[in-house]
Amino acid sequence: MEYSTFGRHVAVDTWGVDFDILNSSELLEAHMVEAAEACGATVLSVQAQQFEPQGATVLVMLSESHLSIHTYPERGFAALDCYTCGETVDPQLAIDYMLTVLKPTSTHAKKLIRGLGELQVEEPQLKQAELV
């Protein structure tokens, strides 16, 4: 069997997200699994941690790699990323799904193309219509 080293890694900083969304590891976990499934990924496991006094981290381990979020509710900030290898799963779909959940007022995103030699950095096409 031949394996591809090709992968895409989308990283997004989101700002202006509601405190209660960012401070619920249970809510984020459910949506992160749905986001992974929406992009066609295979979920292997999920780990979530609720922090005190606030904040959450959710890691969804995928057969194709991972989807993660780290939140700072007191700042309205979340760092979100999705890396998938191969050509059949599009990490941008998982990110777009999460942006519809988070509804940030602003985002900053980068997409890395991995496994083909020198890293390529691209500006991903985020669903701007979803941003409030």
Query: pTM score, two decimals?
Result: 0.88
> Which residue among 70, 82, 106, 108 is the active-site one?
70
pLDDT at 122: 78
Residue 27: what pLDDT? 98
- 9, 25, 82, 85: the catalytic one is 85
Phi-psi region of 123 (alpha: psi -120 to 50; beta: other; left: phi over 0): beta
Structure tokens at 1: 């069997």
Q: What are the angstrom distances between the C-alpha of 85 and each of 3, 42, 46, 49, 108?
A: 10, 12, 18, 26, 22
DSSP string, 38-104: HTT--EEEEEEEE-SSS-EEEEEEETTEEEEEEEEGGGTEEEEEEEEESSS--HHHHHHHHHHHH--
Give phi and psi for 118, each to the nearest 5.
-65, 135
| Annotation says 9 is catalytic | no
Euclidean distance between CA atoms 96 and 75, whole angstroms: 21
For position 15, what pLDDT does the model report?
98
Instruction: Reply yes or no on whether 39 is catalytic.
Output: no
Class of domain 7-130: alpha beta
Report residues of the chain scoring pLDDT below 50: 128-132
Domain residue ranges in the chain: 7-130
Q: Which of 25, 31, 39, 65 is catalytic?
A: 65
